[in-house]
Amino acid sequence: MSRSTETRPAWMGKPTPFASVSRALGIVLMCALVIFPFLVVVSTSLATQTEIDRNGGYVIIPTEISFEAYRQIFNGTQVTRSIIISVGITVVGTLFSLTCTVLAAYGLSRKGSLFQKGLLTFVLITLLFGPGMIPVYLMVKNMGMLNTYWALIIPGAVSAFNIIIIRGFIQSIPQEMFEAARIDGASEWRVLWQLVIPLSRASIAVVGLFLAVGYWNNYFGPLLYLTDTDKWPLQLLMRSFVLQNNISSTAQQIPGMVRPPQQAVQMAFVVISTIPILLAYPFLTKHMSKGMLTGAVKG
């Protein structure tokens, strides 16, 4: 072995077969750790009660596929309606929040904006002192938003954290580009629309994804603000299924009917509520990684 090889850092050298195998095993293990819970969730949702009981509550690979849990869940219009509601809240909420966040971030990133410093301080303070549950509830009530979908969107539409992220990204755009746009006669709106937003796509995508996941997963807002159960989104409905396991306690009274597997129903609901997010991720992965790495190599 040459001297230069001896001094070369380990990660720059050619890996030994042992290292390659170890690395491969490590990656497989990591993948298994991620995939296994999903597999169990999907398998259990498709298993029969007998098999679930036999396996002590969870199934890895079902020997007999049963869609009974899904049939139970989609029996009636509740779940379908709640999925539509959740999608609606997520889409409208994300677009509304992104619009507010980008506008606020742009304004706060431009030196010389009216009350820029004061407003920035005001925004930062909200990071330190969050409102309590009851004050927010009272605000929502006094604004006449109780039992409306706006109560799920407006109170949490603007997050100081997201503003800071996008503001930071906008500030990293070279000043010369703004000046060039100005010389070309671009207005503030045009600068924002044709310069800032295209260049900030990655960070906006990341924030958008966070917002969308947040809206999709929100059950507490609907719980507090929606009294009409017809308006419940999927997550609140899922909570009632998963926590309360009521189906099995009732359905077992019907002779001849396959008793809906309690655990399977829970797992089926988890599958249903996870699918939209899983579908959204591949389209955003590119922006996600780019957005996440933004700033990582900056001095």
Partner 1 sequence: MTQHSGSSFGAPTSSIPRRKMLKFSLFGAVGLVLSPAALTACSNGSKTALAGGQEAVALPAFAAPVKPTPTLPGTSDGVMDVYASFPMNGPVTVKDVVGDGSEFEFLVMTYGQPAPPLEENAYWQILNKELNLKLKPVMVPYADFPQKFPAMVAGNDLPDVVSVPVNMTVNRLPELAKTQFTDLSDFISGDAVKKYPNLAGIPPYAWKNGLLNGRMYGVPKTDPVFGGQMYTKPDVFEKAGANLTPKSLEEFEESMKAVTDPKAGVYALGNPITDFILQSYGVQNKWTQASDGTFTSHFESEQFIPAIEKMATYYKAGYFHPDTATLEKTRRDSLFRTSKLAMTYDGNRAFGIIADDRNLVFSMMPSFGFDGTATPTYWTGKGAYAITMLKKTTDEKKIDQFLKTMNWLCAPFGSKESFIASYGQEGTNYEMRDGVAILTERGQREQDLGFAYIAGGPQVLVNPQGAPGVDAAIHAWQTSVIPYLAEDPTAHLYSPTQNSKGASLEQGMTDAITAVFLGRSSSASLKSAVSTWKSNGGEKIATEFAEAVKA
Binding flag, residue 74, partner 1 (CB under 8 A):
no
Q: Look-up: residue for tokens 């290292």?
A: 19
Query: Which has the closest alpha carbon to 218: 267, 266, 165, 151?
Result: 151
Among 229, 283, 285, 293, binds partner 1 (CB under 8 A): 229
Candidates 289, 106, 275, 278; CA nearest to 205 is 289
Using CB under 8 A as the binding rule, whether residue 53 contacts partner 1 is answered as: yes
CA distance 52 to 50: 5
Q: Which is nearer to partner 1, 243 or 297 (CB)?
A: 243
**217 in contact with partner 1 (CB under 8 A):** no
Q: Long-range contact list for 182-186, CB < 8 A, 24+ apart?
A: none
Residue 9 found at the interface with partner 1 (CB under 8 A): no
Q: Residue 37 CB, nearest distance to partner 1 (Å)?
A: 16
148 in contact with partner 1 (CB under 8 A): no
Q: Is 138 in the site for partner 1 (CB under 8 A)?
A: yes
The answer to the question of residue 64 lying near partner 1 (CB under 8 A) is: no
Q: Is 128 in the site for partner 1 (CB under 8 A)?
A: no
Query: 146 burial class (0-12, 13-18, 19+ CB within 10 angstroms)?
Result: middle
Q: How many CA atoms lie within 13 A of 15 on its CB side?
A: 9
- CA 59 vs. chain centroid, Å, equals 27
| 232 belongs to the binding site for partner 1 (CB under 8 A) | yes
Query: Which span sits near partner 1 by CB under 8 A: 7-15, 164-172, 183-191, 217-225?
Result: 217-225
The two structure tokens encoding residue 242 = 């998963």
179 binds partner 1 (CB under 8 A): no
Contact 197, 204 (CB under 8 A): yes
Biggest CA pair distance of the chain: 81
CB atoms within 10 A of CB 244: 10
In the complex, least distance from residue 29 CB atom to partner 1, rounded to whole angstroms = 23
Residue with the two structure tokens 């809906």: 260
Q: Applying CB under 8 A, does 237 fall inside the site for partner 1?
A: yes
Question: Rule CB under 8 A: is residue 60 a binding residue for partner 1?
Answer: no
Among 22, 99, 246, 285, binds partner 1 (CB under 8 A): 246
**Size of residue set near partner 1 by CB under 8 A:** 45
Q: Does 37 bind partner 1 (CB under 8 A)?
A: no
Q: Which of 177, 223, 275, 278 binds partner 1 (CB under 8 A)?
A: 223
DSSP assignment of 217-266: H--HHHHHH---GGG--HHHHHHHHHHH-HHHHHHTTSTTSPPPPHHHHH
Q: Could you say whether residue 63 binds partner 1 (CB under 8 A)?
A: no
Rule CB under 8 A: choose which of 5, 63, 244, 289 binds partner 1: 244
Task: Enter the DSSP assignment of 196.
Answer: I
Query: Which positions touch partner 1 (CB under 8 A)?
Result: 52-54, 56-57, 75-78, 133-134, 137-138, 141, 146, 220, 223-224, 227, 229-230, 232, 236-237, 239-241, 243-255, 257, 259, 262-263, 266
